[in-house]
Amino acid sequence: MSGDVRSAAESHGPLVLEAIGIHKDFRLGSGLRSPVLSAVRDVSFGLYRSGVVALVGESGSGKSTVARLLSGQERMTRGEIRLDGKTVHLQHRRQFRAYKHEVQMIFQDPFASLNPVHTVRYHLERPLRLHHVAKGRAAIASELVRVISEVQLTPPEQFLAKYPHELSGGQRQRVAIARALAARPRVLLADEPISMLDVSIRLEILRLLDDLRQELDLAILYITHDIASARYFADETLVMYAGDIVERGPSEEVTQHPAHPYTQLLVASAPDPDALGTSLRTGSKVVAGQAGSAISGVVGCRFSPRCPFAEERCRREAPVPVAIDEQRAAACWRLDVAAPLLVRDGAGTGDPSRRGKGAP
Protein backbone atom coordinates (compact mmCIF):
# COMPACT_ATOMS: atom_id res chain seq x y z
CA MET A 1 0.00 0.00 0.00
CA SER A 2 1.34 3.42 -0.83
CA GLY A 3 2.92 5.52 1.83
CA ASP A 4 0.56 8.44 1.61
CA VAL A 5 -0.74 7.92 5.14
CA ARG A 6 1.23 8.41 8.33
CA SER A 7 1.68 5.41 10.57
CA ALA A 8 -0.05 5.52 13.92
CA ALA A 9 3.09 3.95 15.39
CA GLU A 10 5.33 6.85 14.43
CA SER A 11 4.37 8.94 17.47
CA HIS A 12 6.64 6.73 19.61
CA GLY A 13 9.90 7.21 17.82
CA PRO A 14 11.84 7.33 14.56
CA LEU A 15 11.51 4.86 11.69
CA VAL A 16 13.73 1.82 12.14
CA LEU A 17 12.76 -0.81 9.59
CA GLU A 18 10.94 -0.12 6.38
CA ALA A 19 9.46 -2.48 3.82
CA ILE A 20 9.02 -0.86 0.43
CA GLY A 21 6.91 -2.71 -2.10
CA ILE A 22 8.08 -6.13 -0.97
CA HIS A 23 6.72 -8.86 -3.20
CA LYS A 24 6.93 -12.63 -3.15
CA ASP A 25 5.88 -15.02 -5.90
CA PHE A 26 5.84 -18.76 -5.38
CA ARG A 27 5.79 -20.89 -8.49
CA LEU A 28 3.37 -23.79 -8.09
CA GLY A 29 5.05 -26.65 -9.87
CA SER A 30 8.27 -26.81 -11.82
CA GLY A 31 7.29 -25.86 -15.34
CA LEU A 32 7.82 -22.40 -16.77
CA ARG A 33 4.11 -22.10 -17.38
CA SER A 34 3.04 -23.36 -13.98
CA PRO A 35 0.84 -20.89 -12.11
CA VAL A 36 2.38 -18.34 -9.79
CA LEU A 37 1.09 -17.60 -6.33
CA SER A 38 1.74 -14.05 -5.25
CA ALA A 39 1.79 -14.55 -1.50
CA VAL A 40 2.78 -10.97 -0.79
CA ARG A 41 2.01 -8.24 -3.29
CA ASP A 42 3.93 -4.98 -3.14
CA VAL A 43 3.50 -4.47 0.57
CA SER A 44 4.91 -1.34 2.20
CA PHE A 45 4.95 -0.32 5.82
CA GLY A 46 7.31 0.97 8.49
CA LEU A 47 8.25 -0.16 11.99
CA TYR A 48 9.02 2.60 14.47
CA ARG A 49 11.07 2.64 17.63
CA SER A 50 8.90 1.68 20.63
CA GLY A 51 5.91 1.23 18.36
CA VAL A 52 3.84 -1.87 17.64
CA VAL A 53 2.41 -2.56 14.20
CA ALA A 54 -0.02 -5.47 13.90
CA LEU A 55 -0.44 -7.48 10.73
CA VAL A 56 -3.83 -9.20 10.81
CA GLY A 57 -5.21 -11.73 8.37
CA GLU A 58 -6.54 -15.25 7.87
CA SER A 59 -4.26 -18.22 7.27
CA GLY A 60 -2.95 -18.04 3.75
CA SER A 61 -3.22 -14.26 3.60
CA GLY A 62 0.54 -13.90 3.39
CA LYS A 63 1.15 -12.41 6.82
CA SER A 64 3.72 -15.00 7.85
CA THR A 65 5.46 -14.67 4.49
CA VAL A 66 5.93 -10.99 5.24
CA ALA A 67 7.70 -11.96 8.47
CA ARG A 68 9.83 -14.51 6.63
CA LEU A 69 10.82 -11.92 4.03
CA LEU A 70 11.70 -9.36 6.68
CA SER A 71 13.72 -11.88 8.66
CA GLY A 72 15.61 -13.00 5.57
CA GLN A 73 14.38 -16.59 5.70
CA GLU A 74 12.79 -16.14 2.32
CA ARG A 75 14.13 -14.14 -0.59
CA MET A 76 11.91 -11.44 -2.03
CA THR A 77 10.90 -11.51 -5.68
CA ARG A 78 11.22 -7.73 -5.68
CA GLY A 79 11.08 -4.84 -3.28
CA GLU A 80 13.35 -3.25 -0.78
CA ILE A 81 14.04 -3.46 2.92
CA ARG A 82 15.61 -0.45 4.61
CA LEU A 83 17.15 -0.41 8.04
CA ASP A 84 17.70 3.12 9.36
CA GLY A 85 17.09 4.41 5.86
CA LYS A 86 19.77 2.24 4.25
CA THR A 87 18.87 -0.49 1.79
CA VAL A 88 19.77 -3.94 3.09
CA HIS A 89 21.12 -6.63 0.79
CA LEU A 90 20.30 -9.83 2.58
CA GLN A 91 22.08 -12.02 0.04
CA HIS A 92 25.42 -10.63 1.27
CA ARG A 93 26.50 -12.77 4.18
CA ARG A 94 28.12 -10.02 6.14
CA GLN A 95 25.15 -7.69 5.72
CA PHE A 96 22.79 -10.52 6.56
CA ARG A 97 24.55 -11.18 9.85
CA ALA A 98 24.61 -7.51 10.76
CA TYR A 99 20.94 -7.32 9.89
CA LYS A 100 20.04 -10.37 12.02
CA HIS A 101 21.81 -8.68 14.88
CA GLU A 102 19.19 -5.93 14.69
CA VAL A 103 16.11 -7.83 13.55
CA GLN A 104 15.06 -10.93 15.46
CA MET A 105 12.07 -13.20 15.26
CA ILE A 106 9.79 -15.05 17.68
CA PHE A 107 7.90 -18.04 16.36
CA GLN A 108 4.41 -19.28 16.98
CA ASP A 109 5.03 -22.65 18.55
CA PRO A 110 7.31 -22.67 21.59
CA PHE A 111 7.09 -26.47 21.60
CA ALA A 112 8.69 -26.68 18.17
CA SER A 113 11.04 -23.71 18.21
CA LEU A 114 13.23 -24.94 21.06
CA ASN A 115 15.56 -27.89 20.63
CA PRO A 116 14.46 -30.64 23.03
CA VAL A 117 17.97 -32.04 23.55
CA HIS A 118 19.50 -28.75 24.70
CA THR A 119 19.15 -26.74 27.86
CA VAL A 120 17.86 -23.21 28.12
CA ARG A 121 21.49 -22.13 28.66
CA TYR A 122 22.49 -23.53 25.28
CA HIS A 123 19.61 -21.76 23.51
CA LEU A 124 20.56 -18.42 25.01
CA GLU A 125 24.34 -18.77 24.76
CA ARG A 126 24.38 -19.40 21.03
CA PRO A 127 23.05 -16.00 19.93
CA LEU A 128 25.37 -14.32 22.45
CA ARG A 129 28.38 -15.95 20.80
CA LEU A 130 27.14 -15.72 17.21
CA HIS A 131 26.46 -12.03 17.43
CA HIS A 132 29.52 -11.30 19.57
CA VAL A 133 27.38 -9.73 22.24
CA ALA A 134 29.69 -11.00 24.96
CA LYS A 135 33.18 -12.47 24.99
CA GLY A 136 34.72 -14.47 27.78
CA ARG A 137 33.09 -16.75 30.28
CA ALA A 138 32.29 -14.10 32.86
CA ALA A 139 30.76 -11.69 30.35
CA ILE A 140 28.61 -14.43 28.84
CA ALA A 141 27.45 -15.57 32.25
CA SER A 142 26.32 -12.10 33.21
CA GLU A 143 24.64 -11.59 29.82
CA LEU A 144 22.76 -14.86 30.31
CA VAL A 145 21.41 -13.65 33.61
CA ARG A 146 20.46 -10.35 32.01
CA VAL A 147 18.42 -11.84 29.16
CA ILE A 148 16.66 -14.41 31.26
CA SER A 149 15.78 -11.82 33.89
CA GLU A 150 14.38 -9.59 31.17
CA VAL A 151 11.73 -12.19 30.43
CA GLN A 152 11.06 -12.57 34.16
CA LEU A 153 12.18 -16.17 34.57
CA THR A 154 13.50 -16.20 38.11
CA PRO A 155 15.63 -17.53 39.67
CA PRO A 156 17.83 -17.35 36.53
CA GLU A 157 20.31 -20.10 37.46
CA GLN A 158 17.53 -22.61 37.96
CA PHE A 159 15.93 -21.91 34.58
CA LEU A 160 19.22 -21.93 32.66
CA ALA A 161 19.78 -25.55 33.61
CA LYS A 162 16.37 -26.74 32.49
CA TYR A 163 15.39 -28.57 29.32
CA PRO A 164 12.40 -27.41 27.26
CA HIS A 165 10.23 -30.34 28.40
CA GLU A 166 10.58 -29.16 31.97
CA LEU A 167 8.95 -25.83 31.13
CA SER A 168 5.32 -24.83 30.65
CA GLY A 169 4.17 -23.32 27.36
CA GLY A 170 4.36 -19.81 28.74
CA GLN A 171 7.87 -20.37 30.10
CA ARG A 172 9.03 -21.79 26.78
CA GLN A 173 7.74 -18.76 24.94
CA ARG A 174 9.62 -16.59 27.44
CA VAL A 175 12.79 -18.52 26.61
CA ALA A 176 12.11 -17.99 22.89
CA ILE A 177 11.70 -14.27 23.53
CA ALA A 178 14.90 -14.23 25.60
CA ARG A 179 16.75 -15.94 22.75
CA ALA A 180 15.54 -13.25 20.36
CA LEU A 181 16.59 -10.52 22.80
CA ALA A 182 20.04 -12.02 23.38
CA ALA A 183 21.37 -10.39 20.21
CA ARG A 184 20.11 -7.03 21.55
CA PRO A 185 17.97 -6.36 18.48
CA ARG A 186 16.04 -3.19 17.84
CA VAL A 187 13.29 -4.90 15.86
CA LEU A 188 11.23 -7.89 16.95
CA LEU A 189 9.15 -9.82 14.43
CA ALA A 190 6.57 -11.77 16.42
CA ASP A 191 4.69 -14.35 14.34
CA GLU A 192 1.56 -15.33 16.29
CA PRO A 193 3.50 -15.33 19.59
CA ILE A 194 0.48 -16.16 21.76
CA SER A 195 -1.81 -18.28 19.63
CA MET A 196 -0.38 -21.61 20.85
CA LEU A 197 -0.50 -20.64 24.50
CA ASP A 198 -3.13 -21.23 27.14
CA VAL A 199 -5.75 -18.56 27.38
CA SER A 200 -4.83 -17.53 30.90
CA ILE A 201 -1.18 -17.03 29.92
CA ARG A 202 -1.64 -15.12 26.66
CA LEU A 203 -2.25 -11.82 28.35
CA GLU A 204 0.93 -12.22 30.41
CA ILE A 205 3.08 -12.76 27.32
CA LEU A 206 1.54 -9.77 25.54
CA ARG A 207 2.13 -7.75 28.67
CA LEU A 208 5.75 -8.90 28.75
CA LEU A 209 6.27 -7.92 25.12
CA ASP A 210 4.80 -4.54 25.86
CA ASP A 211 7.07 -4.04 28.89
CA LEU A 212 10.08 -5.01 26.77
CA ARG A 213 8.99 -2.63 24.06
CA GLN A 214 9.06 0.22 26.57
CA GLU A 215 12.25 -0.77 28.37
CA LEU A 216 14.30 -1.64 25.30
CA ASP A 217 12.66 0.71 22.80
CA LEU A 218 11.85 -2.23 20.54
CA ALA A 219 10.03 -1.81 17.27
CA ILE A 220 7.59 -4.73 17.09
CA LEU A 221 5.75 -6.32 14.19
CA TYR A 222 2.92 -8.32 15.74
CA ILE A 223 1.46 -10.89 13.38
CA THR A 224 -1.88 -12.37 14.41
CA HIS A 225 -5.19 -13.71 13.25
CA ASP A 226 -6.84 -12.33 16.38
CA ILE A 227 -7.85 -8.78 15.59
CA ALA A 228 -9.06 -8.21 19.16
CA SER A 229 -5.55 -8.66 20.56
CA ALA A 230 -4.26 -6.20 17.94
CA ARG A 231 -6.71 -3.67 19.32
CA TYR A 232 -5.17 -3.95 22.77
CA PHE A 233 -1.53 -4.31 21.81
CA ALA A 234 -0.76 -2.45 18.59
CA ASP A 235 -0.62 1.20 17.66
CA GLU A 236 -1.27 0.58 14.00
CA THR A 237 -3.13 -2.35 12.46
CA LEU A 238 -2.62 -3.54 8.90
CA VAL A 239 -5.24 -5.92 7.54
CA MET A 240 -4.01 -8.36 4.95
CA TYR A 241 -6.09 -10.31 2.46
CA ALA A 242 -4.71 -12.64 -0.22
CA GLY A 243 -1.33 -10.92 -0.27
CA ASP A 244 -2.56 -7.33 -0.22
CA ILE A 245 -2.83 -4.91 2.64
CA VAL A 246 -6.46 -3.92 2.25
CA GLU A 247 -6.73 -1.55 5.18
CA ARG A 248 -4.43 0.24 7.60
CA GLY A 249 -4.89 2.70 10.41
CA PRO A 250 -4.80 3.21 14.17
CA SER A 251 -5.84 -0.08 15.82
CA GLU A 252 -8.74 1.34 17.76
CA GLU A 253 -10.25 2.94 14.68
CA VAL A 254 -9.71 -0.04 12.38
CA THR A 255 -11.39 -2.40 14.87
CA GLN A 256 -14.19 -0.08 15.92
CA HIS A 257 -14.98 1.50 12.55
CA PRO A 258 -13.67 -0.88 9.89
CA ALA A 259 -13.74 0.62 6.43
CA HIS A 260 -12.86 -2.24 4.08
CA PRO A 261 -15.61 -4.87 3.58
CA TYR A 262 -13.13 -7.61 4.52
CA THR A 263 -12.21 -5.93 7.79
CA GLN A 264 -15.90 -5.53 8.45
CA LEU A 265 -16.42 -9.25 7.88
CA LEU A 266 -13.50 -10.07 10.15
CA VAL A 267 -14.81 -7.90 12.96
CA ALA A 268 -18.36 -9.20 12.55
CA SER A 269 -17.13 -12.81 12.72
CA ALA A 270 -15.39 -12.48 16.09
CA PRO A 271 -17.29 -14.18 18.89
CA ASP A 272 -19.58 -11.78 20.67
CA PRO A 273 -20.26 -12.95 24.25
CA ASP A 274 -22.97 -10.37 24.72
CA ALA A 275 -24.99 -11.92 21.91
CA LEU A 276 -25.48 -15.12 23.98
CA GLY A 277 -26.49 -17.36 21.14
CA THR A 278 -28.82 -14.97 19.39
CA SER A 279 -26.62 -14.10 16.45
CA LEU A 280 -25.91 -17.75 15.65
CA ARG A 281 -29.50 -18.80 15.99
CA THR A 282 -31.23 -16.06 14.09
CA GLY A 283 -29.04 -17.07 11.19
CA SER A 284 -27.26 -13.80 10.54
CA LYS A 285 -25.26 -15.20 7.70
CA VAL A 286 -21.80 -14.01 6.95
CA VAL A 287 -20.57 -14.05 3.42
CA ALA A 288 -19.69 -17.62 2.64
CA GLY A 289 -16.74 -18.48 0.54
CA GLN A 290 -13.24 -19.71 0.36
CA ALA A 291 -10.23 -18.00 1.81
CA GLY A 292 -8.76 -15.49 -0.58
CA SER A 293 -6.87 -16.90 -3.50
CA ALA A 294 -3.54 -15.33 -4.28
CA ILE A 295 -2.89 -17.16 -7.52
CA SER A 296 -1.90 -14.81 -10.28
CA GLY A 297 -4.14 -14.17 -13.20
CA VAL A 298 -6.92 -12.97 -10.91
CA VAL A 299 -7.82 -9.52 -12.07
CA GLY A 300 -9.67 -7.01 -9.99
CA CYS A 301 -10.16 -7.01 -6.25
CA ARG A 302 -9.33 -10.37 -4.70
CA PHE A 303 -12.07 -9.99 -2.14
CA SER A 304 -14.74 -9.29 -4.77
CA PRO A 305 -16.08 -12.89 -4.99
CA ARG A 306 -17.04 -12.70 -1.30
CA CYS A 307 -17.84 -9.02 -1.09
CA PRO A 308 -21.46 -7.95 -0.61
CA PHE A 309 -20.71 -4.59 -2.22
CA ALA A 310 -18.82 -5.85 -5.27
CA GLU A 311 -19.80 -4.44 -8.63
CA GLU A 312 -18.52 -4.83 -12.16
CA ARG A 313 -15.53 -2.57 -11.70
CA CYS A 314 -14.29 -4.53 -8.66
CA ARG A 315 -13.98 -7.67 -10.77
CA ARG A 316 -12.14 -5.85 -13.54
CA GLU A 317 -9.73 -3.50 -11.83
CA ALA A 318 -7.61 -3.96 -8.73
CA PRO A 319 -8.50 -1.23 -6.23
CA VAL A 320 -5.98 1.41 -5.31
CA PRO A 321 -5.36 2.39 -1.69
CA VAL A 322 -7.36 5.42 -0.78
CA ALA A 323 -6.55 7.69 2.14
CA ILE A 324 -9.49 8.07 4.51
CA ASP A 325 -7.75 10.45 6.84
CA GLU A 326 -4.17 11.26 7.76
CA GLN A 327 -3.51 7.86 9.29
CA ARG A 328 -6.00 5.57 7.58
CA ALA A 329 -6.30 4.05 4.15
CA ALA A 330 -8.26 1.26 2.51
CA ALA A 331 -8.05 -0.38 -0.90
CA CYS A 332 -11.64 -0.56 -2.05
CA TRP A 333 -13.58 0.93 -4.94
CA ARG A 334 -16.80 1.00 -2.99
CA LEU A 335 -15.85 2.73 0.23
CA ASP A 336 -18.62 5.26 -0.32
CA VAL A 337 -21.11 2.38 0.05
CA ALA A 338 -19.16 0.13 2.42
CA ALA A 339 -18.21 2.83 4.90
CA PRO A 340 -20.22 5.95 4.04
CA LEU A 341 -19.60 7.62 7.40
CA LEU A 342 -15.85 7.40 7.03
CA VAL A 343 -15.46 8.77 3.54
CA ARG A 344 -17.90 11.67 3.62
CA ASP A 345 -16.42 15.20 3.41
CA GLY A 346 -14.69 14.62 0.12
CA ALA A 347 -12.11 12.27 1.57
CA GLY A 348 -11.63 8.89 -0.03
CA THR A 349 -13.19 7.91 -3.32
CA GLY A 350 -14.90 11.22 -3.85
CA ASP A 351 -11.62 13.03 -4.33
CA PRO A 352 -9.52 11.58 -7.13
CA SER A 353 -6.51 13.78 -6.33
CA ARG A 354 -5.87 11.78 -3.14
CA ARG A 355 -5.61 8.47 -4.89
CA GLY A 356 -2.39 6.74 -5.72
CA LYS A 357 -1.40 6.50 -9.34
CA GLY A 358 -1.85 3.39 -11.44
CA ALA A 359 -2.45 -0.11 -10.26
CA PRO A 360 -0.34 -1.37 -7.36
Partner 1 sequence: MRRAKESEHKAEGPSVAASVIPTPTSDALSPVLDIRGLSISYRALDGDVHAVEGVDLAFPRGGIVGLAGESGSGKSTLAYGAVRLLRPPAVITAGSVTYRGRRVGLEGVSVLDQTHAQLRSLRWREIAIVFQSAMNALNPVLRVEDQLFDVIEAHLPMSGDERRERAGSLLDFVGIDRGRLRSYPHELSGGMRQRVMIAMALAVDPEIVIMDEPTTALDVVVQREILSQIVELKERLGFSILFITHDLSLLLEIADRIAVMYAGRLVEEGSAKEIHYQPAHPYTRGLLNSFPSLRGPRRELAGIPGSPPDLRNLPPGCPFVPRCAFATDACKHIDMRLAPVGGSKDPSHVSACPFVLPDAPAPQDAETVRSPR
Write out the residues near partner 1 by the rule CB under 8 A.
58-59, 168-171, 198-204, 206-207, 209-210, 225-229, 231-233, 252, 255, 265-277, 279-281, 283-286, 288, 290-291
Q: How far is the CB of 353 from partner 1 (least distance, A)?
A: 34
Q: How far is the CB of 298 from partner 1 (least distance, A)?
A: 17
Distances (CA, A) of 136 to 128, 140, 144, 262: 11, 6, 12, 54
321 vs 339: CA distance, rounded Å? 14
- Whether the CB-CB separation of 324 and 349 falls below 8 Å is answered with no
**CB-wise, 196 or 347, nearer to partner 1?**
196
Q: How far is the CB of 14 from partner 1 (least distance, A)?
A: 20
**CB-wise, 18 or 236, nearer to partner 1?**
236
**CB-wise, 91 or 200, nearer to partner 1?**
200
Instruction: Indicate the Cα dihedral angle 344, 348, 353, 359, nearest 10°.
Output: -160
Q: How far is the CB of 82 from partner 1 (least distance, A)?
A: 28
**CB-wise, 71 or 224, nearer to partner 1?**
224
Q: How far is the CB of 267 from partner 1 (least distance, A)?
A: 6
Position 267, amino acid: V
The helix/strand/coil state of 319 is coil
**CB-wise, 222 or 333, nearer to partner 1?**
222
172 vs 153: CA distance, rounded Å? 10
Q: CB neighbours (10 Å) of residue 30?
A: 6
Q: How far is the CB of 198 from partner 1 (least distance, A)?
A: 4
346 vs 66: CA distance, rounded Å? 33
**CB-wise, 12 or 315, nearer to partner 1?**
12
Q: CB neighbours (10 Å) of residue 198?
A: 11
In 3D space, the residue among 178, 166, 187, 32 whose CA is nearest the CA of residue 111 turns out to be 166
- Whether the CB-CB separation of 212 and 149 falls below 8 Å is answered with no
